[in-house]
Amino acid sequence: MTNTSTPLFHRLFSLAGKTALITGASGGIGQVLAIALAQAGATVGVHGLTSAKVKETCRLVEEAGGRAIPLIADIIKVEACRNLMIEAHAGLGQLDVLINCAGINRRKPMAEVTLDDYEAIMNLNLRSSYFLCQAAHPIMQAQGGGKIINIGSVNSVYGLGTISVYGASKAGLAQVTRVMAVEWAKDNIQVNFIIPGFILTPLTEKPLWGDGYKSQWLQDRIPAQRPGLPEDLVGATLLLASPASSYMTGSTIVVDGGFLAGGSWEHGES
């Protein structure tokens, strides 16, 4: 019987009693999402590579009134992905939400990209997400369903020089998301994709927003005329992590200040 004493809005968007594993949650976008999901009621598995940074995110989650468990793993290795899922499931007790947020970029012209560059980016951004999802599937299937959110990039659909491998990794993740959604819909697992725009984080502050030319180029082409902030991704993430999106799967939500919508002749754009 449906509980009508709680407003529909709260029932749809609440994560009370739910659990979430967020990769790359030790800083930047992942840290903000970890805090937001905890505030919505979820117990959060905080993954990262560095113990001190993971502990700091856990502290912030607990300061916000949530509960967090630290998870350290180098998920560039496939076996580490599988072990992380086992550890997360054991620590959380269940796995309702998986958010693949971990990623790296190395900015180089294609002629200068090395095999090491290629493998490092593809292995973390695409391969680790693939095998984490694969390991999450039987857990979510056995418990009757779950949510998977893969974090992409505008560069999965927009070509930009010096980030060919990064763009390819995110485009690949977009396609994998669609196939997962098709295959796992019967298991009540919703798999969706978020495309962030040019978000201001410690990793982009210097190479993008700290570069006068690039910063101006971006602001001239982003209709919102400002960088995105990690907090701008919270709304879409809570939607896709909560019961509110139970009939959404294989979908893409773009959070980019209007960048992909097109351009304007104003503000110096040519």
Backbone dihedral angles phi then psi of residue 159, each to the nearest 5 degrees: -75, 130
Determine the residue type at 240: L
Select which of 118, 130, 158, 166 is catalytic.
Answer: 166
**Residue 141 and residue 189 in contact, taking contact as beta carbons nearer than 8 Å:** yes
Contacts 24+ apart (CB under 8 A), 115-122: 117/165, 118/165, 120/76, 121/165, 121/166, 121/169, 122/165, 122/168, 122/169, 122/172
**Rounded CA separation 198/209 (Å):** 9
Phi and psi dihedrals of 87, rounded to 5? -65, -40
Distances in whole angstroms, Cα of residue 261 to Cα of each of 30, 76, 122, 258: 25, 34, 27, 5
Helices 164-184, 115-122: crossing angle, 10 deg rounding: 30
- Residue carrying structure tokens 């999901």: 37
- Is 166 considered catalytic here? yes
Active centre residues (catalytic): 166
